[in-house]
Amino acid sequence: MQEDFHYYAAYCAAYLAGFDHEESLRIGYADQFCDCCTETYLGKVKGPRAAATTQSQPELASAPGDLLSIQNMTRIWASFHFLPYDLNATLPGHHSKKYMQKYRLICKPNSDQVEETVRIAKGRSLEHFGISMHVLSDTWAHTYFAGTPSLVINNATGFYDLNTDKPLVFSHNPTIPEDPEKGNYVNSPNLMDEVSIMVLGHGRAGHLPDYSFFRYKYMPAWGNYEEIVKDNPADYYLAFRQMVTALKYFHGDIDEFVRGVYDEVSVEPHRERIMAILEKRQVNACADWKAFGEELSGQTIPDFDIFAFEKEYLDAARKEDTFLGRFCAGAIAQKSMITNRIYLSGSNLAGVSVDAEGRRFQRNSN
Amino acid sequence: MGAKKRKIQSTLYNSGLAFIVLGFWSAIKGSISLFLDYGTLLKDEIHKFLLSMETEFVAEELRQLENLVYMVLVGLVIGVAVVVLLFHFFIGRAAMQEGKGKKKKIIYLIVAFLYLAFNVFIYIYGIVDSGSADLFDYSELIVDLTVYFACILIIISSIQLRRIAKQENAVGLAA
Amino acid sequence: MSLVKKILTLITSLLMVIVAVGLVIEPEIGYYIMIFILIGVLLVKSIQSVWYYFSMARHMVGGLFYFYQAVLFVDLTLASPMLLIAPRWIVALYLNGLIAFSGVLDILRATDQKKMQWPQWKLRMVLGLSKVLFAIVAMVAMRSPEMLTRIYSFVLVYTAIMRVMSALRSENVVYYTQ
């Protein structure tokens, strides 16, 4: 997903869940900030680099491709953008341990991990709520891809646009602007390397998973030649409803967050309006979501500014009382939880995880 | 049915590509090893042959004739290699196109089958004729077997695809 | 990288530097050692490609491609002892061809990076162009096997330095609090 959903739609969801304008702004901001908080940025503000929630393209390009950098990539991308669905998944027939470790990182919505993501944010800061909403919504957009570089999992072919009923042809030149009317789309090239960054996440599908209007089908590398049909408008709508449910849980309106439960009460009256935004063929829906949000609250939503809270952080004596400080705390908690779960499942793809309290290495005894 | 068809198409495409590339590699390797292993031997044999002829040659004439005969033989070897490569290209390209969904005539399958049968026959004949497998060139075994494997996959996959196409047509007509 | 793997990497890098120095001191013996090292590297690559197919790629869509690729690598390895009896200009062509090919790959990657507006593209382009230029100059200027072994020694030392730099990077451990 991109700024239109992570910032503006998250604001709308928070407002519908009962948060006021300022609180909704913070949640939306933190949600979108997950796509901006790189190690480079944290280095600039002298923040904790372990709190990085994404990697910029230059950071990815300069990664040497050894085990360390792959583990670092997996920690970040699996924790915030491609939450693993089933860390104990099995497949019929024999598969090597390495293959299964990567297969188990495939992202899908309504996992144990997303329940835990929401649970650990409860009672914490608005910034942490925003982080958990980013993670939750990305499980819907990034379904069937994994947050680790892997040719055998993340490669994808046979793209077909179900809206226009034509095969999709990608270009590898990102300077050409994407245009749904002309059918110009960009994806990463296949370098036939198992751990290339070109096969990290949904690179081979380009931006298709992030466009709410797209309906398409394709063959994922892991799918044994079966075609996956992606209906982004339907998925995004479910993501929105689930976000409202989770945010109501944070707000205290419901006692428990259970996966597979989608808010109807607050969202249903706006269904037509939301679906119209989601189904409109445009690469950027910020203006539409912004208009909707401003209608809901009657207040102006400022444009997203990555530097909005930088001065506050730099000038503060107690960093943890600032927006960035609380954001970093939430990010570290989320990353640690997911890394630990991956480690406990017997995989070293996200590196080692140490119980800070007990100061010992944990490993699944099964 | 859709997944099975896509799998067969992928097999056909990749096997066609391998048939071209491995054939090309085999030709290059074979030519290099021929001249490295037997280049000097061949020159010696040409020299002996020319000396055994009734006509006597001046030293310079002999050298020029040796070079000429050598070049003609080299040309022949390269010519045969090129012909084999063209076979590989014809069969492999047709397989790749059929793997991409294009309709291809059955002629390329017949050529593939004949190519396979001929090569297997030569191998077996070579062993039987020599009386043992000692003269069998094991270093070529891996690529040769893989090329035959690719050829078999091309034939089987193409037949399967045509069968599926017939079934789809029958279903289409029935509908 | 685990401590054991770091130590092993440092040891192999040191051995590579020692071999490189040895090649320069004794070029005649060094020539044959160089060919054996090349064969060894090809052997490792071919085993890796076979392993990759059987452990990973056979499950993926289009994985058959990697089977054929592995066969090609294995055959390349089996054919490489030919280099021992090949004329030296063929070995030079082969070695410089590998360096030039690596340079071409760097240039192609730099072009991709330039399209993506990554700042690293200039460095990679310079690296790729210098490899190609180096290979061409080496082919043209090479008069003796000594020159060939010097080129190979240079490549060995460069690779050893890159491996040491990778091994000395610090590792992140993520702490988890209940």
The 10 Å Cβ neighbour count of residue C152 is: 25
Average of pLDDT values for C100-115?
Answer: 79
Whole-angstrom Cα distance, residue C117 to residue A57? Answer: 9
Residue B7 touches partner A, C-beta closer than 8 Å: yes
Chains that touch C (3 or more CB pairs under 8 A): A, B
In which band, very low, low, confident or very high, does the pLDDT at B68 lie, cut at 50, 70 and 90? confident
Q: Which pLDDT band, with edges at 50, 70 and 90, does A361 fall under?
A: very low
> Coil, strand or helix: which one is C175?
strand
- Has residue B37 got a pLDDT over 70? no
Q: Is the pLDDT of residue A364 over 50?
A: no
Which of the residues B11, B19, B26, B29 would you substitute to probe the C interface, choosing the one with the greatest number of C C-beta atoms within 10 Å? B29
Q: In terms of C-beta density within 10 A (0-12 exposed, 13-18 middle, 19 or more buried), how is residue A298 classed?
A: exposed
Q: Do A221 and C173 touch (CB under 8 A)?
A: no
| Residue C33 banded pLDDT, cuts 50, 70, 90 | confident
- Report the residue of B5, B6, B14, B160 to disrupt the A interface, i.e. the one with the largest count of A CBs within 10 Å: B6
Smallest CA–CA distance, residue B135 to chain A, in Å, is: 39
- Read off the DSSP letter of residue B59: H
- Distance, in Å, from the CA atom of B91 to the CA atom of B94, rounded to the nearest integer, reads 5
Residues A57, A174: Cα–Cα separation, whole Å: 12
Tell me how close the Cα of A103 comes to any Cα of chain B, in angstroms.
20
- B107 in a structural domain: yes
Is the pLDDT at A78 greater than 70? The verdict is yes
Inspect the interface and report whether the beta carbons of A354 and C175 lie closer than 8 Å: yes
Q: Is A307 helix (H, G, I), strand (E, B) or coil?
A: coil
Inter-residue contact A336 to C177 (CB < 8 Å): yes
Residue A359 confidence (pLDDT) above 50: no
Give the integer Cα–Cα distance in Å for B15 and B149: 9
Min Cα separation B1/chain C (Å):
16
Q: What is the secondary structure of A256-293 as a DSSP string?
A: ---TT----TTTGGGHHHHHHHHHS--S--HHHHHHHH
Mean pLDDT of A7-11: 97
Q: How many domains does chain B have?
A: 1
Q: Which residues contact B101 (CB under 8 A, 6 or more apart)?
A: B9
* B100 in contact with A, Cβ within 8 Å: no
Mean pLDDT on B95-123: 89
How far apart CA B16 and CA B26 sit, in angstroms, is 15
DSSP assigned state of A2: -
Which of C2, C45, C59 best probes binding to A when mutated, by most A CB atoms within 10 angstroms? C59
Please give the Cα distance from B133 to A280 (Å, whole number): 71
Q: Does the structure show a pLDDT above 90 at A251?
A: yes
Q: Which domain holds residue B33?
A: 2-167
Which among B161, B146, B150, B155 is positioned nearest to B14, based on CA atoms? B150
- Rounded to 5°, angle at Cα A208 from A137 and C118: 95
- Choose among A152, A335, A357: nearest Cβ to C59: A152
Task: Provide the pLDDT for residue C119.
Answer: 66
Q: Do B143 and C61 touch (CB under 8 A)?
A: no
Residues C42-93 pLDDT 10s: 899 899 999 999 999 999 999 999 999 999 989 888 888 877 777 777 777 7
Q: Is A227 left (phi over 0), alpha (psi -120 to 50) or beta?
A: beta
Average pLDDT of B133-148? 74
The confidence score (pLDDT) of residue B133 equals 53
pLDDT exceeds cutoff 50 at C175: no
Distance from CA of C117 to the nearest CA of B (A): 34
Chain B positions in Cβ-Cβ contact with residue A158 (cut-off 8 Å) = 6
Closest Cα of chain A to C123: distance in Å? 11
Sign of the CA dihedral running C148, C152, C153, C158: positive
What gap in Å lies between CA C61 and CA A156, rounded to an integer? Answer: 8
Residue C119 to residue A58, Cβ atoms within 8 A: yes
Quick count: other Cβ atoms within 10 Å of Cβ B9? 19
What's the confidence (pLDDT) of residue C147?
Answer: 73
Exposure string of A249-264, with b = 16+ CB inside 10 Å and e = fewer, is bbeeebeebebeeebe
In chain C, what is the straight-line distance between the N-terminal and C-terminal CA atoms, in Å? 26
- Mean pLDDT value across residues A276-297: 95
Domain assignment present for B173: no
Residue C8 has pLDDT above 70, yes or no: yes
Chain A hits for B10, Cβ within 8 Å: 225
∠ Cα A279 A130 A127 (to 5°): 155
Nearest to C85 among B10, B36, B146 (CB): B36
What pLDDT is stored for residue C170 in this prediction? 54
At B137 the pLDDT is: 59
DSSP A5: I
Chain C residues with CB under 8 Å of A157 CB are: 61-62
Q: Which two tokens stand for residue A25?
A: 């702004």
A206-222 mean pLDDT: 95
User: What pLDDT does residue B3 have?
Assistant: 93
Chain pair B-C, CB pairs under 8 angstroms: 42
* Strongest mean pLDDT among A5-19, A159-173, A181-195: A5-19
Q: Is the pLDDT of residue A18 over 70?
A: yes
Tell me the C-alpha distance between A289 and A8, whole Å: 6
Mean pLDDT for B111-118 is 92
Candidates C115, C118, C174; nearest CB to A353: C174
In DSSP notation, A81-105 reads: TS-BS-TT---SS---HHHHHHHTT
Q: From the list C113, C169, C172, which residue is nearest A61 (CB)?
A: C113
Lowest mean pLDDT among A42-56, A116-130, A326-340, C131-145: C131-145
Residue A11, Cα to own-chain centre: how many angstroms?
A: 16
Alpha helices, DSSP H only, in chain A?
3, 10-16, 21-33, 39-44, 57-62, 67-80, 97-103, 112-121, 126-141, 151-154, 232-251, 271-279, 286-297, 310-315, 323-344
Q: CA quadruple A47, A52, A56, A58: dihedral positive or negative?
A: positive
Whether residue C103 has pLDDT greater than 90: no
| Domain membership flag for residue B79 | yes
Within 8 A by CB and 6+ apart from A279, the residues are: A212, A213, A233
User: Lowest-confidence range among A178-182, A257-261, B135-139?
Assistant: B135-139
Question: For all residues of chain A together, what is the average pLDDT?
Answer: 91
Q: Neighbouring chains of A at 3+ CB pairs within 8 Å?
A: B, C
**Which residues of chain A neighbour C53 with C-beta distances below 8 Å?**
none
The label of the residue with tokens 């690469």 reads: A283
Q: What value does the mean pLDDT take over residues C149-175?
A: 71
Q: Could you tell me which residues are beta bridge partners of residue A146?
A: A106
Position B174 confidence tier, pLDDT thresholds 50, 70, 90: low
CA distance, residue B31 to nearest chain A CA (Å) = 30
Interface test with chain A among C174, C175, C177, by most A beta carbons within 10 Å: C174
A333–C177 C-beta distance less than 8 A: yes
- CB contacts, 8 Å: B3 with chain A: 224-227
> How far apart, in Å, are the Cα atoms of C29 and each of C19, C20, C89, C156?
11, 12, 17, 16
Q: How many Cβ atoms are within 10 Å of C25's Cβ, its own excluded? A: 10
pLDDT at B51 over 80: no
B6 touches chain A (CB under 8 A): yes
- Residue C17: the pLDDT is 86
Looking at residue A182, its pLDDT comes to 80
B3 touches A at CB < 8 Å = yes
CA distances from C126 to C104, C106, C130, C151 (A): 11, 9, 6, 19
Distance of CA C42 to the CA centre of its chain: 9
Establish if B175 belongs to a structural domain: no
Residue A358, amino acid: G
pLDDT in tens, B83-101: 889 989 999 999 999 999 8
**CB count in 10 Å sphere of residue C56:** 21
- The shortest CB-CB distance from A68 to any of C60, C169, C174 is to C169
* Residue C177 predicted with pLDDT over 70: no
Average pLDDT of span A50-77: 87
Identify the band that residue B26 occupies on the pLDDT scale cut at 50, 70 and 90.
confident
Q: How many degrees, rounded to 5, is the angle at CA A96 between CA A95 and CA A102?
A: 95
pLDDT recorded at residue A229: 96
Per-residue pLDDT at A333:
93
Q: What is the pTM of this model?
A: 0.85
Query: Is the Cβ pair A227, B2 closer than 8 Å?
Result: yes
- Cβ within 8 Å, pair C115-A222: no
Instruction: Give the percent of chain A with pLDDT over 70.
Output: 96
Adjacency order of strands within the sheet including C174-176: A360-361, A353-355, C174-176
> What does the pLDDT read at residue C143?
63
Size of interface A-B (CB pairs under 8 A): 14
| The predicted structure's pLDDT at residue B148 | 93
Spatial separation of the C-alpha atoms in residues C157 and C178, rounded to whole Å: 47
Answer whether B31 touches C (CB < 8 Å). Answer: no
Half-sphere exposure of B169 (CA within 13 A, CB side): 6
ipTM: 0.86
Q: Is A174 on the interface with C (CB under 8 A)?
A: yes
Which carries the bigger pLDDT value, residue B55 or residue A273?
A273
Count, residues in chain A: 366
Three-state DSSP class for residue C46: helix
Residues 326-345 of A with CB under 8 A from C: 333, 335-337, 339-340
* Contacts with C97 (C-beta within 8 Å, 6 or more apart), sequence order: C135
Contact (CB, 8 A) for C128 and C107: yes
Q: How confident is the model at residue C174 (pLDDT cuts 50, 70, 90)?
A: very low
CA distance A319 to A313: 6
- Amino acid sitting at position A364: N
Integer Cα distance of C93 and C138 in angstroms: 10
